[in-house]
Amino acid sequence: MTTEKKALDLTCALIGFNTINPPGKERSCVEYLGGLLEAAGFHLRYDEFAPERTSVVARKGGSVDKPPLCFAGHVDTVPLGATPWTIDPFKAEMSGKKLYGRGSSDMKSGVAAFVVAATELADRLEGTAGLTLVIVGGEETGCEGSFHLAGLPEFLGKAGAILVAEPTSNRPLVGHKGSLWLRAMTRGVTAHGSMPERGVNAIYKAVEAITKLRNFDFDFPSHPHLGNPTLNVGTISGGININNVPDETSIGIDIRTIPGQDHTALIDRMGKYLGEEVELSRVLDVNGLWTEPTDPWVQEVFETMTGILGCRPDVATVPYFTDAAALTPAYGGVPTVIQGPGEAAMAHQTDEYCYVDCINQAVEAYIEIARKWCRL
């Protein structure tokens, strides 16, 4: 079987696992991949971070003078959404040059590509720097699998660089924004809706807070490639029925930060700005990522992809977060590239698809990047 056929077949097989998160239930999908890697001689360690929620770290090779190269990715997907699909989201249907199915772009094609690349090189890895594959669950809801592994250094071992196979159409990217989700609570005193003067309306307090949030100043310099931090009020809920004065309101705030921003300091600044009537608490806290494009390994990846893509990649980033937010600090801040075969515009979309040619291209790229790292 050709390498291209292996990668396509494996992507189709992974799409067939329903790993929608929540609830996730990634165990069977991760164990399927683990079986393939174990058969190729990789040493495996599984980490169950919640019932039926499993990640795996697979290693082969290793030398004293250079740490391994890490490939990383997740197998959980987002829900299907309210819009009906025109195809079975778990059947992996082909149409022309496109492979359809939930997770085809985000990011089961990327995981399939680096697993196939690793197994193709497996027989040559002994005595080299080697490879470490980190395949996790729970990324879509805050990188739970990766953060759990980050607290288990004996599982992760060491790495000298990381490639995260998120959807980028195989363009190497060097950074992403952080994500800080906050819940802002306002409280009041309930009363009958016909006698509002006897109560204190928590929704009115929330409206005042939201109005202030529209003018919040981050007071932080713009990043040359990631731009400015952003803020969006995504949810608001309050009250129990129409004829009561509401005594509690919840506001969901989505902040996208840039590397170097201190999230604790940011929360403190926002709390002082909104005042004592608003209580802030964290829902999700994921830092941003930035690797200097001048890093020698990043330059090597750019050179490799110039030959494969036909043009030299530009320095670019993405606004969404990845598992690198947990893994890169856990590995000591090593250079990190985000690069995968999926289409970023297809992530979380109805009738999600990935181009088959991009999957094949990714396998070629991963083999060459790993070969250079391991000096094969």
Strand order in the sheet with 43-50: 43-50, 53-60, 131-136, 69-74, 161-164, 336-338
Q: Are 231 and 255 in contact (CB under 8 A)?
A: yes
What are the pLDDT tens digits along the chain (376 aa)? 899 999 999 999 999 999 999 999 999 999 999 999 999 999 999 999 999 999 999 999 999 899 999 999 999 999 999 999 999 999 999 999 999 999 999 999 999 999 999 999 999 999 999 999 999 999 999 999 999 999 999 999 999 999 999 999 999 999 999 999 999 999 999 999 999 999 999 999 999 999 999 999 999 999 999 999 999 999 999 999 999 999 999 999 999 999 999 999 999 999 999 999 999 999 999 999 999 999 999 999 999 999 999 999 999 999 889 999 999 999 999 999 999 999 999 999 999 999 999 999 999 999 999 999 999 9
Q: Does domain 3-176+289-374 have CATH number 3.40.630.10?
A: yes
- Select 178-286's CATH number: 2.60.40.10, 3.40.47.10, 3.40.350.10, 3.30.70.360: 3.30.70.360
Domain with CATH 3.30.70.360 in the chain: 178-286
Domain with CATH 3.40.630.10 in the chain: 3-176+289-374
DSSP state of 262: -
157: closest CA among 123, 119, 130, 121? Answer: 130
Question: Token pair for residue 58?
Answer: 């697979």
* pTM metric for this prediction: 0.94
225: closest CA among 338, 69, 370, 323? Answer: 338
DSSP symbols for 203-258: HHHHHHHHHHHTT-----PPBTTTB--EEEEEEEEE-SSTTEE--EEEEEEEEEE-
Which class for 256: exposed (0-12), middle (13-18), buried (19 or more C-beta within 10 A)? buried
200: closest CA among 248, 146, 252, 157? Answer: 248
Q: How far is residue 289's CA from residue 174's CA, in Å, rounded to a whole number? A: 8
